[in-house]
Structure 1
């Protein structure tokens, strides 16, 4: 096959995987065009490419390729092999199993999760690749709050994913346990093995926290937030240990912020959404997905107007979805347990959102280019890259961080 365009971003092994996928789609021949997707600052742990070709019937073939980095320091810092393993497990095993459960229960189309079809994966080290169908969905501006309706669309998808996880746990507990054990929790600190990764990931969080605390207005708020970022790994481990039986845990989407939620628009209005990127999927409380979405994708005013309604809406969709599998939310995940989890996980979710804040509010020309990282010293010298940010960016970030803290105080999470 003749590849043209951004071909240097694909290894020989990855090209062969693309060729295999195209052959299954009745590729007719001719050039296969490779284009980079997104601007600087849109993609942090993978290169994203669009692949264009045609079938022998003249129909367009459009695929999205997620390509793992080859930079050694970056791979070690983000634990690229395990993140791509997570997403491969989700697309090749978990999500197809969820489809089986939906089919067996005759779930109507409007109550099913929306997801991109996977055309193939590569798991070889340094050549990790995930090929997905390119659907007619668009990414929203990550700096603009989702609307009330858009948040509800995303919550519906999360509730349906969580309901399927509860259904799998009920109907095939051994398979559920297998998936849970396969998925890697990036936020739990590594122990004896991978000590270098621990240095890359967790020493830098202490420096990052000091930078973030500087955005808060009062010493009282700084004291409240102290440790929310620097102790993220310890909090994740303690929360996992406190929930050893996993009765109320689900397989999370794990990273539902603006760049990983795609919307379909009609006449300028969003009518559907679809989750992408399952690299941070893991086992935890459903509220982690809920808070991650709300904290990272909405502003203070929108939260003030709709926060409690969102929680009610999520729980109703969860209850309705569980009914398809002959389960009841009052038994599977009681509402009072959800309220308890919101308070138990609130501080941890704030910490995750503070970390993400260092990426969300950068303009594309001031994006923190992780591919430039050469070693640990480079990371520690600029853990969040504040020196690269414009005055307006710093103001947006400061307002967002203070608003997050104010929300968590109002909800009783701090």
Structure 2
């Protein structure tokens, strides 16, 4: 992305904010993310001292082909979905607030500029390789309840507009043959087999091998047919895409903000929930009490649907049914995301030039931790009867 593009976007923001003498300070040491360059920016009006602290995500020059889609997709989220959510608030006065997302000041196919949440007291969970504790898990599930409630309400009140926004697409379905042919699933199957004893736990090895080799196709085809309970989903539900804010000396978060909507789409709410729990809460404590945590989500969903004067469009029975039938997306994502969460930073940096998800197809220094987490995830889905032999 040309530097002038970012400068022009910032000048447009200054104009929108009625800054008469804008002064721009851009962090000249951007942190190069996996599919984004980022900058922290201070935009100040020299005449009034009004100041905005901003965070910019821009498309790297090397991004080509299908990855360009994700930038267009995030721009659509901020320009259309957030606008849709604001529209359903119009008849509710000041009683309700939008789901917690960073305020967007500018979004196009190359750049997204948001408020800098670090400047407002938000923090990312640390360390990244540790699962969230129960207070943080409940905070995120409650946030998803509100986010999905707004989507259900918009779909209920404006079905034609809902149909015109976003897409229904599963990357792993359209790229399945490529991932088979390049050996990704073969390598993943072998690594996951090492999570179990070859003699006494063969049923788990067989189940995951069958799922990755052909069962996944049937699952994704079944998911693609779902429509009645489709909502806008976040789509990238792992630890690094949440920020939390706390009261002083209080470990329990008072706010959670959801980040990064590059792969938002329309599908079952269970896709967000299973991805999140399988990567961010993958401990026996959470899986043993899965209904307790799903009820945290569902109670938040019902509360916000009621506040939005929307009927009960997603009952507890529906959630349980869809969890049994569609939650395997969490298993798919865990195989990749848990490697990213458990590997050392320098290991990931050394492989950034490799195409995703092949860049996560390696044995890390912390492979034992990866295997421990994946074992928990696979055992849950198999023992619960969701993953079939």
User: 1:360 is matched with which residue?
Assistant: 341
Q: Distance in 1 between matches of 2:29 and 2:323?
A: 39
Q: Distance in 2 between matches of 1:386 and 1:278?
A: 27
5 Å-filtered alignment, 1:261-300, equals 261-268=242-249, 269=251, 270-300=253-283
Q: 1:239 aligns with which of 222, 237, 255?
A: 222
In the alignment, structure 1 residue 93 sits paired with structure 2 residue 80: yes
User: 2:360 is matched with which residue?
Assistant: 384
In the alignment, structure 1 residue 311 sits paired with structure 2 residue 294: yes
Instruction: Report the alpha carbon displacement of residue 289 of structure 1 after superposing the two structures with TM.
Output: 0.8
User: 1:320 is matched with which residue?
Assistant: 303
In the alignment, structure 1 residue 339 sits paired with structure 2 residue 320: yes
5 Å-filtered alignment, 1:213-228, equals 213-218=192-197, 219-228=202-211
5 Å-filtered alignment, 1:124-163, equals 128-135=110-117, 136=120, 137-141=122-126, 142-163=128-149
Q: Distance in 1 between matches of 2:180 and 2:147?
A: 29
Could you list the runs of 5+ residues in structure 2 that have no partner in the other structure? none
User: 1:187 is matched with which residue?
Assistant: 172
Deviations 1:58-86 (A, max 9, x none): 243211111122225xx34xx22211111
Equivalent residues of 2:277, 2:330 under 8 A apart: no
Deviations 1:133-176 (A, max 9, x none): 11221111221221212111111111111111111111111100
SS in 1 for 2:234: coil
Equivalent residues of 2:352, 2:359 under 8 A apart: no
Instruction: Report the alpha carbon displacement of residue 361 of structure 1 after superposing the two structures with TM.
Output: 1.0
Counterparts in 2 of 1:48 and 1:235: CA distance versus 1, 3 Å: farther
Deviations 1:172-197 (A, max 9, x none): 1110000144x654333169xxxxxx
User: 1:13 is matched with which residue?
Assistant: 5
SS in 1 for 2:360: coil
Counterparts in 2 of 1:15 and 1:220: CA distance versus 1, 3 Å: same
Superposition TM-score, scaled by structure 2 size = 0.87
Instruction: Report the alpha carbon displacement of residue 117 of structure 1 after superposing the two structures with TM.
Output: 1.2
In the alignment, structure 1 residue 63 sits paired with structure 2 residue 42: no
Q: Distance in 1 between matches of 2:4 and 2:180?
A: 31
Q: Distance in 2 between matches of 1:412 and 1:205?
A: 26
Counterparts in 2 of 1:102 and 1:156: CA distance versus 1, 3 Å: farther
Q: Distance in 1 between matches of 2:180 and 2:350?
A: 16
Instruction: Report the alpha carbon displacement of residue 371 of structure 1 after superposing the two structures with TM.
Output: 4.5
Aligned length: 375
User: 2:238 is matched with which residue?
Assistant: 257
Deviations 1:87-143 (A, max 9, x none): 11110011121022123234634x6411111111232xxxx1111111221111221
Instruction: Report the alpha carbon displacement of residue 239 of structure 1 after superposing the two structures with TM.
Output: 2.3
Q: 1:34 aligns with which of 27, 40, 44?
A: 27
Counterparts in 2 of 1:328 and 1:37: CA distance versus 1, 3 Å: farther
Flag the structure with more relative contact order, 1 or 2, with Cα contacts below 8 A and sequence separation at least 6: 1
SS in 2 for 1:404: helix
Q: 1:104 aligns with which of 88, 91, 97?
A: 91
SS in 2 for 1:273: strand
Q: Distance in 2 between matches of 1:241 and 1:287?
A: 13
User: 2:370 is matched with which residue?
Assistant: 397
SS in 2 for 1:351: helix
Q: Distance in 2 between matches of 1:277 and 1:325?
A: 25
Q: Distance in 1 between matches of 2:351 and 2:60?
A: 10
Q: Distance in 2 between matches of 1:130 and 1:96?
A: 15
User: 1:83 is matched with which residue?
Assistant: 70
Equivalent residues of 1:189, 1:233 under 8 A apart: no
Equivalent residues of 2:38, 2:58 under 8 A apart: yes
Deviations 1:213-265 (A, max 9, x none): 2432133211111254455873464124432xx11111101112111011112
SS in 2 for 1:48: strand
SS in 1 for 2:90: helix
Q: Distance in 1 between matches of 2:288 and 2:205?
A: 26
Q: 1:115 aligns with which of 101, 114, 117?
A: 101
User: 1:4 is matched with which residue?
Assistant: none
